Amino acid sequence: MSGTEQVPVTVLTGFLGAGKTTLLNRILTEQHGRRYAVIVNEFGEEGIDNDLVVDADEEVFEMNNGCICCTVRGDLIRILGGLMKRADQLDAIIVETTGLADPAPVAQTFFVDEDVADRTKLDAIVTVADAVHLDNQLGEHHEAEEQIAFADIVLLNKTDLVDGKGLERVEARIKKINPYAKIIRTAHCVAPLDEILGLDAFSLDRVLEFEPDFLESDHDHDHDDDVTSMSITSNTPLDFEKFQAWFSELLQTKGQDILRSKGILDFDGIDERYVFQGVHMLMDGSTMGAWPGGKSRSSRLVFIGRNLDTMGLEEGFNACKVDTL
C-alpha cells in the first residue's frame, strides 16, 4: 500500500492591488498539465477563471483551550478536507488571503490540525508587494509589515513603475524587516513559477540552507512597533535541557511578538544537527543528520519579530552554552 502523499500548499499574501490576482491567473493558465486548486478569500478585484477555485469565508478561531497559538482557520480546514476527497490528486493548493489578513493563522493551521498535517504540507508563504506603494503601506498598516515578515518569497511587483533608486530603497526596507526572504523583482507578476511554487520552504531540510551571516545587526528603530530580525551564532555547544527550558519559556511568553524563528543547533552529546522552525508559539524540530564533514559544528538561531531587543535573546542563548572549563 503506497503512503498518502502530502499536497504542498502555498500561502499567497499581499495588499489589495499588489497583483495577487494577476499572479493567480498566471499560475492557473500556465499550469503545464499540473492540477492546482486555488482557495480564494477576496471579493472584488478581477475574477479568476478556473474550475478549481474554491470560495472561503474568513473564519479564524481559537481552540477552546484558549491558547493564542491555537488560532486556526476553521474554514481552511473544511475546504482542505473536501479537496483531499478528490479522486485525482492535486499537484498543489494555493491559499489566497485577504489583503489585510495576518498570515500566521493560516501557517499555524498546518502545525495544529492533525488532519491537515496528515494530507497537506505548508510549502511557502509568498507575499506580493507593490513596489510603488509598499513604502507607504509599511508605515500605515501593521499587516503589511507582518506579511513581509512571514514571507519566504517577496514578489516585488510593478517594478516597471519605479526608478532604480526607488527600488533599492524599497528592497532595503523589505530586507530590514526580513533579511531571509528571497526578493523577486517583477512587472505584471511575470516570474518563473518554479521560483514561487514547490519550494518546500517549511521543511526542516530547507532550514539547513539558510545563511544568516550577511546580517548586519541593525538596532536603530523609528518606533517600537517595527518588525526587525536578529541572528545569534555560537561555536560553543549548547546544553539540550537548558535550551529547551529557555526556548519553550521564550515562545510561551514572547511568542506573540516573535513572528518566525529558525535554527540549526549544536547540542552537547548529540551527534546530529538539531533543526527547527517556528511560527509564533508553535515550532517543529528534529535531528536532521550528521554535521557536514570539513565544517566545524556551530549553532545558528534567527528571529523575526517585534521588540526583539527587549527579550534578552543573547543573554538567554548564552546561558544555554555548556561550561567549557
Partner 1 sequence: MQGRYPLDYTFTEPLRQKYKTSELERRGAYADTGAPVTGAVAVGGAVAASFGDGTVRFFWPDSDPTVVNAHRGVVLCLASDSDYVLTGGDDGRFLRISLDGDIEELANFDTKWVDCVAATRGLYACSSGQKVLVWSMGQSQPTELEHSGTVGGLAFNSKGERLAVTHYGGATVWQENKRRWKRSRFVWKGSHGATTFSPDGKYLVTAMQENALHGWRIRDKANLSMSGYPAKIKSFAWVGETPYLVTSGASEAICWPFDGKDGPMNRSPVCVADGGKKIASCVQALPSEKAVFAGFKDGTVLLAELDEKKKAIVLREGTGAAVTAIAVTNSGSHLLIGDDKGKILWTPLWA
- Return the sign of the alpha-carbon dihedral for residues 152, 208, 211, 249: positive
What are 99's three cell numbers? 489583503
In the complex, what is the shortest distance from the CB of residue 31 to partner 1, in angstroms, rounded to a whole number? 18
In the complex, what is the shortest distance from the CB of residue 107 to partner 1, in angstroms, rounded to a whole number? 17
* Residue with Cβ nearer partner 1 (38 or 128): 38
Match 497559538 to its residue by C-alpha cell: 69
Q: How would DSSP label each residue in 49-87?
A: --TTEEE----EEE-TT--GGGEEEHHHHHHHHHHTT-S
* Residue with Cβ nearer partner 1 (55 or 241): 55
Phi-psi region of 165 (alpha: psi -120 to 50; beta: other; left: phi over 0): alpha
* Residue with Cβ nearer partner 1 (74 or 166): 74
* Residue with Cβ nearer partner 1 (54 or 288): 54
**Is residue 52 a contact partner of residue 163, using CB atoms and an 8 Å limit?**
no
In the complex, what is the shortest distance from the CB of residue 205 to partner 1, in angstroms, rounded to a whole number? 27
Q: What is the rounded CA–CA span in Å between residue 114 and residue 223?
A: 39
Phi-psi region of 245 (alpha: psi -120 to 50; beta: other; left: phi over 0): alpha
Q: Looking at 141-225, list the stretches that DSSP marks H as alpha helix, in order from N- to C-terminal side.
A: 142-150, 164-177, 204-207
* Residue with Cβ nearer partner 1 (184 or 282): 282
**Is residue 202 a contact partner of residue 122, using CB atoms and an 8 Å limit?**
yes
The type of residue at 303 is: F
Q: What is the rounded CA–CA span in Å between residue 112 and residue 115?
A: 9
* Residue with Cβ nearer partner 1 (55 or 168): 55
Q: Looking at 159-312, list the stretches that DSSP marks H as alpha helix, in order from N- to C-terminal side.
A: 164-177, 204-207, 240-254
* Residue with Cβ nearer partner 1 (28 or 227): 28
In the complex, what is the shortest distance from the CB of residue 29 to partner 1, in angstroms, rounded to a whole number? 18
User: Given the rule CB under 8 A, which residues bind partner 1?
Assistant: 1, 4, 53-55, 57, 59, 61-64, 72, 74-75, 77-78, 82, 84-87, 113-115
* Residue with Cβ nearer partner 1 (88 or 224): 88
In the complex, what is the shortest distance from the CB of residue 228 to partner 1, in angstroms, rounded to a whole number? 34
In the complex, what is the shortest distance from the CB of residue 309 to partner 1, in angstroms, rounded to a whole number? 36
In the complex, what is the shortest distance from the CB of residue 1 to partner 1, in angstroms, rounded to a whole number? 3
Decide: helix, strand or coil at residue 211.
coil
In the complex, what is the shortest distance from the CB of residue 87 to partner 1, in angstroms, rounded to a whole number? 4
